[in-house]
Structure 1
Amino acid sequence: MTQATTPRAAADLTAASRASRQDTPRRRRPRRLDGQQLSRGQATLRFVVLLAGALLFLFPFWYMVIGSLQREPDTSVAGAFPNPANIDLHNYAQIDSRVDLLQGLVNSGIFTAGVVLCTVVFGVLAGYALSVLQWKGRGTTFALALLVQVVPFQLLMIPLYVLIARDYGLSDNYLGMILPFAINSAAVVIFRQYFLQVPQEIFDAARIDGAGELRVLWSVALPLIRPALVTVVLVTFIGPWNEFLWPFLITKEASMQPLAVSLANYISNVASSTANPYGAILAGAVVLAAPVVVLFIVFQRWFIATDIGSGVKG
């Protein structure tokens, strides 16, 4: 039989174990202080490099805004830090008296909104058909969509002008500006790649529940590709908003011209006769660039967001 351990014997065993631990040489723990200092140094260096890159990137925008606010122009580098007494809104009032900024913004907004809407609608439909649906010739059609991106728009501009302006009579018309950009093959590719990342089982489950293809697209697929929707909207927005050549060809009336065309006409015809053409041009550039900058700041987090993984439980 095993004898029970008395309290005195337990105390002796505890003391012996403590003595043995004291006699045993302690293992030297790795010094973590140097590692922490190294990681902090790397973080500090990375912060300094990123800050310098950000300041270098933002300097042209800062210079544009400051130049638009200067009453007396200063085109040197020192003009980026002007005298506060030389800053006012005179240039904005001056260019607005020559160019209707509000009407130009409205025209640019209608043109851009029409292009973005058509791009998203047709891009989603084509991307869904090329990725989810099974039909003969799907690969060939996708190859042709990629091939379209190789053809420059300038090569198609003259036949498009003849077709839209002369045959359809859509010059000085919003629809005439929107039609050449209504379908964007790059958007089709983006949507197709996002749809391919969605597990096919999700679509099969919706079809088993009795949903049609349009219901599957609207209720199942679109909520899972919200990052793609925002990405396509932001990327597409820049093109028509800054587009100059096609609206310049298709519009002759000043009241129908987007802001980019109105500013170009101001630079070529009126700017030389103003007291501060440099500041007025920069003021127009600030008005043209402000909506794009605000849009990117508001929706930048959607570029890295994704909800596809949350649709399936492991």
Structure 2
Amino acid sequence: MANQHRVPGQLTRGQAALRSIVLALGALVFLFPFYYMVIGSLQTNPDTSLGGIFPNPANITGENYVAINERINLYSGLLNSGIFAGAVVLGTIVFGILAGYALAVLQWRGRGTTFALALLVQVIPFQLLMIPLYVMIARDYNLGDTHFGMILPYLINSTAVIIFRQYFLQVPKELFDAARIDGAGEMRVLLQVAIPLVRPALVTAILLTFIGPWNEFLWPFLITKEASLQPLAVSLANYISTIASSTANPFGAMLAGAVVLAAPVVVLFIIGQRFFISTDIGSGVKG
């Protein structure tokens, strides 16, 4: 019988099975809070005991979603959150790509200092700048109670600039030089050569940028007083602090609102997660 040699680094069946079990248990632990939130949002009478994990089918209802929608208008909150997060993502991607490309590919005086300043911004908490920003945007620019007033402080994200810079640095410079030799201008090089090769950075920046403003509470709450302009996170917080006690099942209604708030982020991550482990940089370079 021929001897079977195991490839170095290859897991045995037992090791592979153990790894699968550990990963499955880890997935269950991380998914359990979301599962519990969904189950709690569907219960007519809240059951916070351990048995509530497997609820009685007779106790399942969709009334909690109706109840909270009657109080805060989920559609309006989702629309405001979408406008806020979508505009921030768009601004972050556009300015992040342009700045990241300039810092990584172009040669110009002060490039190192500019990158150092982008790193320095990371250590300054936004809460430290919130009051001066509020005075400037609400009083000087008169942008209080507007979507643009919410969006403006988040329009440029230094984290995205750093992410794009690091990815652009990984792209072989020969690709840029070849495009320039063919007569391509710098903007064409960026759009047709650089951006298609850094799709993982693009998706990473979108996901990281989207989650922040989508869940943001403090700045939208500070800059908006009109309920019709407030994102869903602010509307839910107002609901919890003011009118939740008047609801027949405030626990279920709050969880229903939390499910609606979390669902778009989960869907976006499921759609984009495969791009985290893929890259097309190698496809542009011949062996």
TM class by shorter chain equals over 0.9
Q: Distance in 2 between matches of 1:292 and 1:275?
A: 28
The residue aligned with 1:4 is none
Q: What RMSD, in angstroms, separates the aligned Cα atoms of the two structures? A: 1.3
Counterpart residue number, 1:178? 151
Q: 1:271 and 2:271 equivalent? A: no
SS in 2 for 1:74: coil
Residue type of the partner of 1:240? P
1:217 aligns with 2:190: yes
Partner of 1:291: 264
Q: Which amino acid aligns with 1:239?
A: G
Query: TM-score scaled by structure 1?
Result: 0.88
Choose from 53, 67, 71 the match for 1:94: 67
Structure-2 residue corresponding to 1:8: none
Q: How does 1:124-273 map to 2 (within 5 A)?
A: 124-273=97-246
- In the superposition, the TM-score normalised over structure 2's length comes to 0.96
Deviations 1:262-283 (A, max 9, x none): 0000000011121211000000
Q: Deviations over 1:36-56 (max 9, x none)?
A: xx8211111111111111111
Q: How many residues align?
A: 283
Structure 2, unmatched stretches of 5+, are: none
1:173 is matched by which residue type in structure 2?
T
Pick the structure with greater CA Rg: 1
Q: 1:29 to 1:239 in 2, by over 3 A?
A: same
Over 4 Å off, 4+ runs: none
| Alpha-carbon distance in structure 2 between the residues aligned to 1:203 and 1:254 | 49
Query: Match for residue 9 of structure 1?
Result: none
Q: Alpha-carbon deviation of 1:32?
A: 6.6
Match of 2:20 among 36, 40, 47: 47
User: CA–CA distance in 2 between the matches of 1:31 and 1:159?
Assistant: 70
Corresponding residue for 2:78?
105
Counterpart code for 1:287: V
- For 1:119 and 1:32, locate their aligned partners in 2 and report how far apart those are by CA, in whole Å: 51
Instruction: Give the superposition deviation at 1:219.
Output: 1.1
Q: Check if 1:69 corresponds to 2:42.
A: yes
Q: Distance between the aligned counterparts of 1:60 and 1:189, measured in 2?
A: 32
Task: Specify the SS of the correspondent of 1:183.
Answer: coil
Structure 1, gaps ≥5 residues long? 1-27
CA distance in 2, matches of 1:48, 1:79: 25
Q: CA deviation at 1:252?
A: 0.3
The percentage of aligned residue pairs carrying the same residue is 76
The aligned residue for residue 120 of structure 1 is 93
Alignment map for 1:12-27 (pairs within 5 Å): none
| CA deviation profile, 1:201-260 (whole Å, cap 9, x unmatched) | 111111111111111111111111111111100111100000000000000000000000
Which one-letter code corresponds to 1:295 in the other structure?
Answer: L
Q: 2:282, 2:139 → 1: CA distance?
A: 50
What is the CA–CA distance in structure 2 between the aligned matches of 1:148 and 1:31, rounded to whole Å? 57
